[in-house]
Amino acid sequence: MHCWPNAGTSKRKIRRITAETPPDRPVRHTIHSALTNTYKSSPSYLPQQSKVPGALVRALTSPIMSRPHSARRPYRFLSLRSFICFFSPTFLAKLKGSGKAVEIPRGREIEAAKEEPQLVETMMKGGSGGSPKKAYSVSPADYRLLDEVGQGASATVYRAMYIPFNEIVAVKCMDLDRCNNLEGDEYAEVVTGLKYDAAERTLTTNMVIGEEEVTHEELNMEDDVRREAQTMSLMDHPNVVKGYCSFVVEHTLWVVMPFMAEGSCLHLMKVAYPNGFEEHVIGSILKETLKALEYLHKHGSIHRDVKAGNILLDSSGVVKLSDFGVTAGMFDKGDRQRSRNTFVGTPCWMAPEVMQPGGGYDFKADIWSFGITALELAHGHAPFSKYPPMKVLLMTLQNAPPGLDYDRDRKFSKSFREMASMCLVKDQTKRPTAEKLLKHPFFKNAKTPELSVKSLLTDLPPLWDRVKALELKDAEQLALKKMASSEQEALSMIEYQKAVSAWNFDLEDLKIQASLIVDDENIADAKEDDKGLMNFINNEAPSNVGSTSEKLLAADKNSDIKNLGDIEGPDGSGLIKKNEFLETDVLEVINQDRIYRYDNKKLNNDSDPSTSTHDAEPRQENEVVKEPQMCSIPLRPSSVQNNSAKRGRNLERAESESQLRAERSRCNAWKDANLSGPLMLPNRASANSLSAPTLSSIRYGDSMEDKFNLNAVQIKGRFSVTSENVDAVKGLRMIRSASVGDCLFNPTQVPSNELPKENINISLLPSILMTHLQNLARQTSSQQVLLTDLLTSMQQNDILSSFKTEIPSQTSKPEIDILVKAEITERERLLLVKFSELQARMINLTDELTAAWSKNVQLQQQINAAYSKRNEKESA
Ligand SMILES: Nc1ncnc2c1ncn2[C@@H]1O[C@H](COP(=O)(O)OP(=O)(O)OP(=O)(O)O)[C@@H](O)[C@H]1O
């Protein structure tokens, strides 16, 4: 790493110099000397005396700078960007290569900008390294958007023609409204610090020079959107996507950049390499990415969103890192050692230290994400990608770091596995720097991307056609969603049947559901339920995992932040200090737009059956899974729902894309069922599953439930009243079935003569009842299947335990044996409890079925009577 000076000092120094310098003295030399002294440890960034822009000089030497704070007023001047960037070491590089000194009479900056918009454009555009600048204008009229080539959470990327040069570029249109609640121009102005006046073709800025140190953050410049545009224009490296220029157009910020004709690695994997790339390709891609990271880190930036979706390829195989929306300057506050405290990134790729608010992190966080990206490229998806964000956070903190599995990833070399594991060390201080990592043998032997990556791209249609094809697929899925409601009802029942047969052994899932999903209406009940559940879990299974989740639950439910104790991951590295991982943090995590983006996107991958169990869920040694879960799942908090609603079309896209794959994986779900943990019978094929998809809900539930819920006007228990039958059941009361929580119509409570004739489709009622009865019958048979399986599983456990008692392990220690036996005995006990519960439920169900049948008969008689009465009346 370069030894950077303390930028804070430099700012103060510059301030002092400018304040003390009489306006009529030539100041360029003074500023240049200051910079020379301040940045002497990084000579390549020294600005040349003649290259400090005049406007900047004017701004710095303006009398306003020497006024006391109180006397300073909002000050408008040309190219705030130049001013701000002046403090950034990276900007100095730009000055060195390109700096065009422009003299503007003092106090006439705004007028000059209006008279010479071209000047503003010049100040805004990128360019460095001494190469002649290509000026890209900031007028939207100069760009013709051709095809959509990418869709991010906050942006749509287009292939576009830059008309003046007849050159193809990419234009990323970032929706400013989506980034904030502020409206349109107002927000655009705030976040960019720049106001584009289309009529005048000028860019102006409002800013208050206030505190002693003028920094990005104090100037309200920390926003992702502006940061991205800014960072992109400052970067200059062959492996970094450079921003040519950026400007505000109505409610969007346009960032113009080179067009990368093959899109992102993620996109390529989705289209043609669902199981990941071969090692030699991965080596090339990663090496180029690492070079980009090395460059960024050397220049004081942390990317914070390294992932396959942000590694772009062009048709000649060139690899570039993009998306600087969350890039942070390590020296933003003028403290070289200062690490970041904000919670930014995408959960699967996020380093453990980033997830722990207050802990602080530095550029090593990018190395972790880089390691995750290595696994992503190797498997076609990131580890834990099928889990909801909150779960990913917990798993990353608590589980052993993911890695390339010795057996499953046999096809990969030892050096690749080793390189990945070096990056994925929880202790950030033990991770190598990008520079060091580049020297790893894995990269030493990597081929140039032109050789390896290019071979991936043969026979592929153009990017925009691929994007369209994916969109068509999405549309098909959406159409599927809109199928007739009766079909949906039928399908939902099938889904439900599958879901009721599902085994979910995942204690974590259950806890997360319990902690995250809160029903406003039933909050008190839910609290009680959850308390009981958690007490049970923790009494029975005092694992670290349990206590962590309980504490999160406690924080979430009771806001009793002070009660949080220290929470420690099993390896001690995932330590969450008292009061650090608080309710607000949890909610912040949930509310993080980026997480939702990720969530939406990852839904595409979630159902990917190739996700390995190794990746997915390395179990803790001490995680003793015990409790057969039968808890009722409350709804999620409305705040989360509100946020989810914002996901809008992204979610729809993601959902629909995931449906087909989800369908496929559902088919295998039953036989894939994991028989190694506690049993959970989902007691609802719920409308909630989206908020906290569990293994079972991912496999069985989401898409079909969505279809089902599309027409649902009321959801009770696991059944819904759809818009089709709502009229028919008007006036009928619903009763809750004691054992299964179903809602059944209770015709005996409604005398037949009270049935509003005009609303009753008489023939519909028996059919509705029949459906419910059939469901009951199916449930009973499902329960029987469950019982059989349970018995089989018990037998297996018996065999296992007797085997273990008969043949004592020679290698394991006696304590471990005792633990194993205790666990098996405990499991047996729980299975027996479960077994008797199921038996009782089956008996209940059978009773209910019989009762329902007889009710059905009664009802039919009543209906017949009512029918003949009406006939009689009519004939009379
Ligand atoms: N310069 C480019 N050339 C070609 N395609 C691009 C370019 N930039 C982005 N894309 C495509 O657009 C997609 C979305 O872009 P990008 O990731 O920058 O958007 P975003 O909203 O920042 O997304 P994210 O959700 O990752 O934050 C990329 O995954 C890529 O496929």
Binding residues: 172
Q: What's the whole-number mean pLDDT along residues 77-104? A: 33
Query: Measuring from atom 20 of ligand 1, which residue has the nearest CA?
Result: 152
pLDDT of residue 336: 30
How does residue 119 score in pLDDT terms, banded at 50, 70 and 90? Answer: very low
The CB of 243 under 6 Å from ligand 1? The reply is no
Rounded to the nearest angstrom, the distance between the alpha carbon of 349 and the centre of ligand 1 is 17
Using the atom order of ligand 1, give the atom closest to the CA of residue 320: 1
Query: Measuring from atom 1 of ligand 1, which residue has the nearest CA?
Result: 259
Rounded to the nearest angstrom, the distance between the alpha carbon of 264 and the centre of ligand 1 is 7
Using the atom order of ligand 1, give the atom closest to the CA of residue 150: 12
Q: Among 223, 224, 236, 305, which one carries the catalytic annotation? A: 305
The CB of 325 under 6 Å from ligand 1? The reply is yes
DSSP state of 361: B
Least Cα distance to 291 among 299, 257, 376 occurs for: 299
**CA 85 – CA 79 distance, rounded (Å):** 10
How does residue 233 score in pLDDT terms, banded at 50, 70 and 90? Answer: low
| Helical pair 265-272 and 364-379, crossing angle rounded to 10 deg | 10
Rounded to the nearest angstrom, the distance between the alpha carbon of 573 and the centre of ligand 1 is 34
- Of the ranges 398-412, 450-464, 786-800, which is most confident? 398-412
pLDDT of residue 397: 87
pLDDT above 70: residue 441: yes
Q: What's the whole-number mean pLDDT along residues 409-436? A: 93
pLDDT above 70: residue 31: no
pLDDT above 50: residue 855: yes
Q: What's the whole-number mean pLDDT along residues 738-742? A: 33
**CA 171 – CA 720 distance, rounded (Å):** 45
Query: Measuring from atom 26 of ligand 1, which residue has the nearest CA?
Result: 152
- Read off φ and ψ for residue 260, nearest 5 degrees: -100, 100
Q: How far apart, in Å, do the first and last CA atoms of the chain sit?
A: 99
pLDDT of residue 740: 32
How does residue 231 score in pLDDT terms, banded at 50, 70 and 90? Answer: low
Rounded to the nearest angstrom, the distance between the alpha carbon of 457 and the centre of ligand 1 is 18
Please name every residue paired with 203 in a beta bridge, in sequence order, or none if there are none: 196
For tokens 């599958």, name the residue: 498
**CA 555 – CA 546 distance, rounded (Å):** 14
pLDDT above 70: residue 29: no
Instruction: Choose the residue to mutate in 157, 225, 269 for probing ligand 1, maximizing ligand atoms within 8 Å of C-beta.
Output: 157
pLDDT of residue 395: 87
Q: What's the whole-number mean pLDDT along residues 428-439? A: 94
pLDDT above 70: residue 713: no
Rounded to the nearest angstrom, the distance between the alpha carbon of 421 and the centre of ligand 1 is 28
The CB of 241 under 6 Å from ligand 1? The reply is yes
Using the atom order of ligand 1, give the atom closest to the CA of residue 264: 31
Query: Measuring from atom 18 of ligand 1, which residue has the nearest CA?
Result: 323
Q: What is the pLDDT of residues 240-252, one digit of tens each?
A: 988 888 888 887 8
Q: Clarify whether 530 is annotated catalytic.
A: no
Least confident segment among 461-475, 684-698, 759-773: 684-698
pLDDT of residue 852: 87
Give me 738's structure tokens: 């004691």
pLDDT above 80: residue 434: yes
Binding residues for ATP: 172
Instruction: Choose the residue to mutate in 147, 149, 169, 173 for probing ligand 1, maximizing ligand atoms within 8 Å of C-beta.
Output: 149
Cβ–Cβ under 8 Å, residues 313 and 273: no
Higher pLDDT, 314 or 800: 314
Using the atom order of ligand 1, give the atom closest to the CA of residue 267: 31
pLDDT of residue 812: 52
Rounded to the nearest angstrom, the distance between the alpha carbon of 157 and the centre of ligand 1 is 6
Using the atom order of ligand 1, give the atom closest to the CA of residue 154: 21
pLDDT of residue 744: 35
Residues 6+ apart with CB under 8 A from 475: 656
- Of the ranges 432-446, 521-535, 546-560, 638-652, which is most confident? 432-446
Query: Measuring from atom 15 of ligand 1, which residue has the nearest CA?
Result: 152
- Read off φ and ψ for residue 204, nearest 5 degrees: -130, 175
pLDDT above 80: residue 140: yes
pLDDT above 70: residue 429: yes
- Read off φ and ψ for residue 582, nearest 5 degrees: -100, 175
Cβ–Cβ under 8 Å, residues 397 and 547: no
pLDDT of residue 722: 34
Rounded to the nearest angstrom, the distance between the alpha carbon of 310 and the centre of ligand 1 is 6
DSSP state of 666: H
pLDDT above 70: residue 298: yes
Rounded to the nearest angstrom, the distance between the alpha carbon of 174 and the centre of ligand 1 is 10
Instruction: Choose the residue to mutate in 322, 373, 594, 653 for probing ligand 1, maximizing ligand atoms within 8 Å of C-beta.
Output: 322
User: Residue 305: what residue type?
Assistant: D
Half-sphere exposure of 376 (CA within 13 A, CB side): 31
Rounded to the nearest angstrom, the distance between the alpha carbon of 698 and the centre of ligand 1 is 27
CB atoms within 10 A of CB 494: 14
DSSP state of 518: -
Query: Measuring from atom 19 of ligand 1, which residue has the nearest CA?
Result: 152
Cβ–Cβ under 8 Å, residues 172 and 249: no
Residues 6+ apart with CB under 8 A from 63: 23
Task: Give rounded-to-5 percent helix, strand, coil for the chain.
Answer: 55, 10, 35
pLDDT of residue 41: 31
pLDDT above 70: residue 707: no
Q: What is the pLDDT of residues 555-609, one digit of tens each?
A: 333 333 333 333 333 333 333 333 333 333 333 433 343 333 333 443 344 333 3
pLDDT above 50: residue 323: yes
Instruction: Choose the residue to mutate in 240, 268, 303, 312 for probing ligand 1, maximizing ligand atoms within 8 Å of C-beta.
Output: 312
pLDDT above 80: residue 369: yes
Q: Is the pTM of this model over 0.80?
A: no
**CA 556 – CA 531 distance, rounded (Å):** 12
pLDDT of residue 98: 36
- Read off φ and ψ for residue 40, nearest 5 degrees: -65, -25
Residues 6+ apart with CB under 8 A from 183: 177
The CB of 306 under 6 Å from ligand 1? The reply is no
pLDDT above 50: residue 653: no
Query: Measuring from atom 29 of ligand 1, which residue has the nearest CA?
Result: 309
pLDDT of residue 558: 38
Rounded to the nearest angstrom, the distance between the alpha carbon of 229 and the centre of ligand 1 is 13
**CA 322 – CA 325 distance, rounded (Å):** 9
Percent residues over pLDDT 70 in the chain: 38
Q: What is the pLDDT of residues 765-788, one digit of tens each?
A: 555 666 666 776 776 777 777 777
Query: Measuring from atom 24 of ligand 1, which residue has the nearest CA?
Result: 152
pLDDT of residue 601: 40
The CB of 654 under 6 Å from ligand 1? The reply is no
The CB of 603 under 6 Å from ligand 1? The reply is no
pLDDT above 90: residue 166: yes
pLDDT above 70: residue 349: yes
Percent residues over pLDDT 90 in the chain: 15
pLDDT of residue 236: 80
| Residue 276 zone, left/alpha/beta (φ > 0; ψ -120 to 50; rest) | left
| Helical pair 648-672 and 593-606, crossing angle rounded to 10 deg | 40
| Helical pair 583-591 and 389-398, crossing angle rounded to 10 deg | 130
The CB of 35 under 6 Å from ligand 1? The reply is no
The CB of 152 under 6 Å from ligand 1? The reply is yes
pLDDT of residue 226: 59
Least Cα distance to 565 among 586, 535, 544, 589 occurs for: 544
**CA 66 – CA 20 distance, rounded (Å):** 8
Q: What is the pLDDT of residues 629-650, one digit of tens each?
A: 333 323 233 332 333 333 333 4
pLDDT of residue 232: 59
**CA 661 – CA 604 distance, rounded (Å):** 8
pLDDT of residue 292: 94
Question: What DSSP assignment string belongs to 275-339?
Answer: T---HHHHHHHHHHHHHHHHHHHHTTEE----SGGGEEE-TT--EEE---TT-EETTTTS-TTPP
pLDDT of residue 473: 77
For tokens 């800014």, name the residue: 230
Instruction: Choose the residue to mutate in 154, 162, 174, 264 for probing ligand 1, maximizing ligand atoms within 8 Å of C-beta.
Output: 264
The CB of 263 under 6 Å from ligand 1? The reply is yes
Using the atom order of ligand 1, give the atom closest to the CA of residue 261: 4
pLDDT above 50: residue 708: no
The CB of 149 under 6 Å from ligand 1? The reply is yes
The CB of 153 under 6 Å from ligand 1? The reply is yes
Query: Measuring from atom 28 of ligand 1, which residue has the nearest CA?
Result: 150
Rounded to the nearest angstrom, the distance between the alpha carbon of 468 and the centre of ligand 1 is 15
CB atoms within 10 A of CB 773: 18
- Read off φ and ψ for residue 769, nearest 5 degrees: -60, -40
pLDDT above 80: residue 851: yes
How does residue 815 score in pLDDT terms, banded at 50, 70 and 90? Answer: low
Q: What's the whole-number mean pLDDT along residues 367-388? A: 92
The mean predicted confidence, pLDDT, of the chain is: 57
Using the atom order of ligand 1, give the atom closest to the CA of residue 258: 1
pLDDT of residue 821: 73
Residues 6+ apart with CB under 8 A from 665: 607, 608, 609, 698, 699
pLDDT of residue 243: 81
The CB of 193 under 6 Å from ligand 1? The reply is no
The CB of 264 under 6 Å from ligand 1? The reply is yes
- Read off φ and ψ for residue 577, nearest 5 degrees: -70, 155
Rounded to the nearest angstrom, the distance between the alpha carbon of 466 and the centre of ligand 1 is 15
Q: What's the whole-number mean pLDDT along residues 649-672? A: 40
- Of the ranges 207-216, 359-368, 695-704, 811-820, which is most confident? 359-368
Q: Which SS3 state, helix, strand or coil, does residue 554 take?
A: helix
**CA 532 – CA 634 distance, rounded (Å):** 14
